[in-house]
Amino acid sequence: MNQMTRIDPALETRMANAIRALAMDAVEAAKSGHPGAPMGMADVATVLFNRFISIDPADHRWPDRDRFVMSAGHGSMLVYAINHLLGYDDMGMDQIRGFRQLGSRTAGHPEYGHAKGIETTTGPLGQGITTAVGMALAERMANARWGDDLVDHFTYVIAGDGCLMEGISHEAIDMAGHLRLGRLLVLWDDNGITIDGSTDLSTSTDQQARFAAAGWHVAAVDGHDREAVAAAIRAARADQRPSMIACRTVIGFGAPNKQGSHDVHGAPLGAEEIAAARRVLDWPHDPFSLPADVSAAWAAIAARGAAARADWTARLDASADRAAFLAAQGAPDAAALRSAIGEYCHRLVADRPKVATRKSSEMALEVINATLPRTIGGSADLTGSNNTRSAGMQAIRPGDYAGRYVHYGIREHAMAAAMNGLALHGGFIPYGGTFLAFADYSRPAIRLGALMGVKVVHVMTHDSIGLGEDGPTHQPVEHLAALRAIPNLQVFRPADAVETAEAWEIALTSEGTPSVLALSRQNLPAVRIEDDGTNRSRRGAYVLRETPVERDLTLIATGSEVEIALAAADLLAGARINAAVVSAPCFELFAAQDADYRRGVLGFAPRIGIEAAIRQGWELMLRPEDGFVGMTGFGASAPAADLYRHFGITAEAAADLARDLIQGGH
Amino acid sequence: MNQMTRIDPALETRMANAIRALAMDAVEAAKSGHPGAPMGMADVATVLFNRFISIDPADHRWPDRDRFVMSAGHGSMLVYAINHLLGYDDMGMDQIRGFRQLGSRTAGHPEYGHAKGIETTTGPLGQGITTAVGMALAERMANARWGDDLVDHFTYVIAGDGCLMEGISHEAIDMAGHLRLGRLLVLWDDNGITIDGSTDLSTSTDQQARFAAAGWHVAAVDGHDREAVAAAIRAARADQRPSMIACRTVIGFGAPNKQGSHDVHGAPLGAEEIAAARRVLDWPHDPFSLPADVSAAWAAIAARGAAARADWTARLDASADRAAFLAAQGAPDAAALRSAIGEYCHRLVADRPKVATRKSSEMALEVINATLPRTIGGSADLTGSNNTRSAGMQAIRPGDYAGRYVHYGIREHAMAAAMNGLALHGGFIPYGGTFLAFADYSRPAIRLGALMGVKVVHVMTHDSIGLGEDGPTHQPVEHLAALRAIPNLQVFRPADAVETAEAWEIALTSEGTPSVLALSRQNLPAVRIEDDGTNRSRRGAYVLRETPVERDLTLIATGSEVEIALAAADLLAGARINAAVVSAPCFELFAAQDADYRRGVLGFAPRIGIEAAIRQGWELMLRPEDGFVGMTGFGASAPAADLYRHFGITAEAAADLARDLIQGGH
């Protein structure tokens, strides 16, 4: 890097003050926002960018760029100010002026996809630092695959007190320390202030000791002493462990009457205080205007990045791996995957295995992982239960990143957030397993992944009371509904091995949407016993068994309950009631079909939905007068078969309800 | 305590082996379960109970009993075995034999309410240790109110590696260390094994250093050296800080061929290994049978507890606080609360304040907190935004527990779990605030509270896009649906100050059900402008404005959108469309009404639901052909009024939709 570059201290001060001015002016114009963190961390961020970071605003997707994550997302104006100063072409002054306004790229919190220079969406605290763990892991994994010439970058994080108080930070720190992610560098904005007031109100943790306990390199500096900050970053970069630098800062630095207090955290400073700050900072420039030398100094950072990228491109062009490397950055080969899955399903239709869908998932993964080298498996310490590790998958270990399997530990939340980071980094498609009931633990990161549209697959087994004896704490009853509620998230609940493979295919080829696979613990019979030669799950729901004559009833089921629907149809056939059976592995995909298709599938006869879960979310499939066989409250601890009987989720119950419905005169 | 008691080492060994035998036999009979933790921690637990714990199985609600929390809930057989050995009358050997069977009190994980000796439901890892922080805080708070004579007990926790890897444990540890909860004692089952194998696979954290960094007293012992365990517990009890004792144990201790490996974690040992274990442990007794001297030794623990309770009862009887203390343990005075709320609502109807419902909540709390001294407020560092601190509420501080307000820090998950613990301890009704979007962070603990039926109030403000500029990360769109999906949880979304007060009244007097209050950031006009003299919200939904003649339409709205429904009805009245307006502050309560009431409220005319959230969950109110004005995806960052217009949640949009519906020929 550029440790040799001569730094002009006065100019660097003004480079930092440019961030402060843009932050306070934009917040003032918006009449809302958080000036405190950008003003407090302006010196640290300026040192980081001016002396270390290598990015090229002309190519925000350059794979070997350094990643910068503003985990304290409320300090978004720090990101926007820097990106404006660096010259990103989508971050003109109009965007700074339009901070927090409808249609601007400058949302209240940084939103991935809104502007080029935003590496990840942050705001919910602790997400950024944990996503960054995934990015830093991806960097090492890519390095292990492609070598130092092509992959050699850092992941820098600015984290606030809130990020370090949130539980997810523990999972992140524990994981990063264990995996020795030495390219991860966290700059803690140690300003001693939270919204309620002094951090003394709620915490006494010695953060340096805490990070050290997890195997991190730690240091503490005055966050306004730029040489000290630079020295600490230099030492951190040289250390083989992940690093945390406690940067003691004054929140709202430069606002003479408000700095250092929680008043400056999340509200505009006001015209008077801004005027006072301009005097204190010796910043006589108008709002939203920048002196040429400061602009030039920031532009030089971009130029340095452009040069680095040019060097890198030369290395890439000279590399034997060039084509393979570039291919790995793009979308996966959907045709190859379709071919492999199609052939595999062809065999399944012949074999008709009666296995749990978690096992079906493992079988599908044997095919998928052989076809797509970029998949990265893992589990939150339930590998043998989630069936997420296909044959020959080597574990990633501290210092050895050549493997494809991550032991995420008992850290569902970090797993989901780190997977977001793996996906955002590029070059990998992560999937990770836990029990469906523990989707609640990872929910904030699942949501953030949906908001960002990353390609991540959440493998969630033990998907109903069918898990049996573990009881109500472990039995999801509302989790399917709760996940279906999240926008831009595909929730699959496949019925057998074929549907499971189809769900995997869709998940892995859906650009811009994460997926959840809800999988059974218990064995399920094959229900897709004809070789359709096509992925029927793509339409979300389809007629699995049509009636020979006009339907008297449509039974609609998902996952483990499709078997029950088929058995109920058999029972009803005995009573001369013609019941079609619809399998509905993905409500979201079905909702996206045209009305004709949906009407064709659902029919006009009375309907019964069958799912070992609550009815909420079934309004897409059922009218109020239709029936539902499922759960109305929490589960219980007993063998699975006993529970299905106890809660009345049986073919007999469905058939009885069908007779009631039909005789009830619908 | 009984440090003076002479301990018979051989007998104490056999007391521990009784736990091991019951655990392995019960798991074997159930053909599922976790023998590893009970067998590994049997020595530690035996020392704890034999030498320290003070409980009386004859009165499991004795307020001054020690609390014991098995945070590693999969080791439930440890709890059941101990409770059987102690002689709880609902934990006979039939229950041990019936482990994990339908109808047994001995569920796969300990379920609060299933049996007397279960202090809290555990299973989802990390919940127990955090709930225990709440219990330990409640103990100190009660002690500050009633003195050492009446309140002087410990909270003991057994936690596993999983509990300490989960993020919530960081929040728990940070909070307990900060608040100096010296009566909290965590015994870590440091067996080096998780489901996937050695803990080396996923973690390297020095747990002692980690706890010490958070202000804890720490120690490490051989968990099979009972004198060392006793000495460590003695030192921990004497320390003013919370204590963590790392108990190095062999998982499945006593099973000669499987102990120390993950094979013994979560599966039956098998007949052969059990026979071998019986030999190794010198335990020649039949399955489910206990030698008399061992039973007598465990019974002596209960007798010691009974004597302690008798002493305590004598102190209580002699106390001037007797009546007040006992009253504080029972249900709150609902009549007094009704009277206070009724009088307050009377004033509101006259004043018609136009305030945010978060402010309405603060106003209601002024009345409530003056009436009910047992309420304990708090916020996850959003006090000024959640409006959870009423006048004169003093903060609880390290070493000073006389206050009524908890600065939970930026720890939504720990707040929810600790509130569960405060409620379970007894004597307090906790409420705590955060933003509704962050319900996702606390969701696992909210769910557990619903499963247990504790009286906890989750105050969740900024409940829609109405929060404005903070943008999609902070804007709940699916959270109402996701919370309504949780069984046994009351979700309130009040429309004005009267409904907010009514929601509070219901929440505080609902036994067996936690509540969520979803409250607006933005100001809302008074819509309840007549003095009904009754709590209309009790029925969940009601006709706020009826039409003079037969309804053409029913507009149903919640919270901030009731104002829009009223305005839409006004617009439609201009077009001679008679639209009734229903306010629906609580779907769960409405669902519990009889069909006649519900039909009367909803009517037979076309309906339009209005809620600035997704439609899922509205199937209770709406038929497929009815209309909905709300959200279909994530929000955006802009001033609230701009967002309402942008997403079409306006009176005009509702009126347009109404005209379409009615002219559409419904």
Summarised one tens digit per residue, pLDDT across range A134-166 is 999 999 999 999 999 999 999 999 999 999 999
Residue of A382, A395, A472 with shortest CB distance to B195 = A382
Residue of B126, B409, B615 with shortest CB distance to A203 = B409
CB B210 to CB A215 under 8 A? Answer: no
Question: What burial class does residue A664 get, using C-beta atoms within 10 Å of its C-beta: 0-12 exposed, 13-18 middle, 19+ buried?
Answer: exposed
Q: Residue A446 pLDDT > 80, yes or no?
A: yes
Q: What's the full length of chain A, in residues?
A: 666
Instruction: Supply A647's token pair.
Output: 């809660």
Q: Residue A666 pLDDT > 50, yes or no?
A: no
From the candidates A381, A394, A406, which should be mutated to test the interface with B, based on the most B CB atoms within 10 A?
A381
C-alpha pair distances (Å), A304 with each of A64, A295, B83, B287: 14, 14, 69, 75
Residue of B108, B468, B474 with shortest CB distance to A471 = B108
| A412 is annotated as an active-site residue | yes
Three-class SS of residue A504?
Answer: helix
CB B195 to CB A167 under 8 A? Answer: no
Question: What burial class does residue A40 get, using C-beta atoms within 10 Å of its C-beta: 0-12 exposed, 13-18 middle, 19+ buried?
Answer: buried
Residues of chain A found within 8 Å of residue B410, distances taken between Cβ atoms: 125, 161-162, 165-166, 194, 202
Closest-CA residue to A577 (of A607, A605, A551, A606): A551
Residue of B74, B385, B636 with shortest CB distance to A102 = B636
Gap between the Cα atoms of B356 and A355, Å rounded = 54
State residue B666's pLDDT score: 45
Low-confidence ranges of chain B (pLDDT < 50): 1-3, 666
DSSP state of A394: P
State how far residue B228 is from chain A, nearest Cα, in angstroms: 25
Gap between the Cα atoms of A232 and A238, Å rounded = 10
State how far residue B142 is from chain A, nearest Cα, in angstroms: 20
Gap between the Cα atoms of A419 and A378, Å rounded = 10
Instruction: Supply A7's token pair.
Output: 């730094």
Q: pLDDT by residue (tens digit) across A408-430?
A: 999 999 999 999 999 999 999 99
Assign A5 a pLDDT band (cuts: 50, 70, 90): low
CB B100 to CB A385 under 8 A? Answer: no
In chain B, how long is the greatest CA-to-CA distance?
90
Residues of chain B found within 8 Å of residue A33, distances taken between Cβ atoms: 469
Gap between the Cα atoms of A32 and B521, Å rounded = 14
Tell me which of B139, B412, B499, B505 is the catalytic residue. Answer: B412
Chain pair A-B, CB pairs under 8 angstroms: 336
CB A121 to CB B169 under 8 A? Answer: no
From the candidates B34, B74, B166, which should be mutated to test the interface with A, based on the most A CB atoms within 10 A?
B166
Q: What is the mean pLDDT of residues A90-99?
A: 98
State residue B3's pLDDT score: 47
Gap between the Cα atoms of A353 and A345, Å rounded = 11
Residue of A111, A174, A482 with shortest CB distance to B471 = A111
Q: What is the mean pLDDT of residues A245-274?
A: 96
CB A481 to CB B477 under 8 A? Answer: no
Residues of chain B found within 8 Å of residue A444, distances taken between Cβ atoms: 438, 440-441
CB A102 to CB B451 under 8 A? Answer: no
CB A637 to CB B207 under 8 A? Answer: no
State how far residue A482 is from chain B, nearest Cα, in angstroms: 5
Residues of chain A found within 8 Å of residue B109, distances taken between Cβ atoms: 470-471, 473-474, 637
For residue A126, the chain B residue with the least C-alpha distance is B410
Q: pLDDT by residue (tens digit) across A616-636?
A: 999 999 999 999 999 999 999
CB B477 to CB A487 under 8 A? Answer: yes
Residues of chain B found within 8 Å of residue A126, distances taken between Cβ atoms: 167
Residues of chain A found within 8 Å of residue B471, distances taken between Cβ atoms: 100, 107-109, 111, 123
Q: Residue A549 pLDDT > 60, yes or no?
A: yes
CB A470 to CB B121 under 8 A? Answer: no
Residues of chain B found within 8 Å of residue A408, distances taken between Cβ atoms: 202
Residues of chain A found within 8 Å of residue B413, distances taken between Cβ atoms: 167
Residue of B107, B395, B617 with shortest CB distance to A616 = B617
For residue B125, the chain A residue with the least C-alpha distance is A410
Residues of chain A found within 8 Å of residue B398, distances taken between Cβ atoms: 204
Q: Residue A532 pLDDT > 70, yes or no?
A: yes
Using CA atoms of A124, A130, A136, A140 in order, give the dihedral in degrees to the nearest 10: -150
Residue of A107, A382, A385 with shortest CB distance to B637 = A107
CB B102 to CB A636 under 8 A? Answer: yes
For residue B631, the chain A residue with the least C-alpha distance is A487
User: Taking the alpha carbons of A96, A97, A102, A108 in that order, is the dihedral positive or negative?
Assistant: positive
Give the rounded distance of the alpha carbon of B371 from its chain centre. Answer: 24
Tell me which of A111, A119, A171, A412 is the catalytic residue. Answer: A412
CB B411 to CB A639 under 8 A? Answer: no
CB A638 to CB B30 under 8 A? Answer: no
Q: What is the mean pLDDT of residues A2-9?
A: 72
User: Taking the alpha carbons of A9, A14, A19, A21 in that order, is the dihedral positive or negative?
Assistant: positive
State how far residue A55 is from chain B, nearest Cα, in angstroms: 26
State residue B5's pLDDT score: 62
CB B107 to CB A440 under 8 A? Answer: no
DSSP state of B7: P
CB A383 to CB B109 under 8 A? Answer: no
Q: What is the mean pLDDT of residues A182-190?
A: 98
User: Taking the alpha carbons of B304, B306, B309, B314 in that order, is the dihedral positive or negative?
Assistant: negative
Closest-CA residue to A182 (of A131, A124, A140, A123): A140
Residues of chain A found within 8 Å of residue B478, distances taken between Cβ atoms: 482, 485-487
Closest-CA residue to B558 (of B566, B569, B549, B546): B566
Gap between the Cα atoms of B535 and A19, Å rounded = 53
Gap between the Cα atoms of A504 and A370, Å rounded = 14
Residues of chain A found within 8 Å of residue B175, distances taken between Cβ atoms: 202
State residue B665's pLDDT score: 52
Query: Could you give the count of Cα atoms lying within 13 Å of B642 in the half-sphere of its Cβ?
Result: 13
State how far residue B32 is from chain A, nearest Cα, in angstroms: 7
CB B472 to CB A107 under 8 A? Answer: yes
Closest-CA residue to A342 (of A124, A519, A576, A504): A504
State how far residue A646 is from chain B, nearest Cα, in angstroms: 8
Query: What share of chain A has pLDDT > 70, as a percent?
Result: 99
Residue of A204, A395, A484 with shortest CB distance to B177 = A204
For residue B639, the chain A residue with the least C-alpha distance is A101
C-alpha pair distances (Å), A528 with each of A502, A541, A570, B387: 11, 13, 16, 56
Gap between the Cα atoms of B598 and B592, Å rounded = 9
Residues of chain A found within 8 Å of residue B171, distances taken between Cβ atoms: 165-167
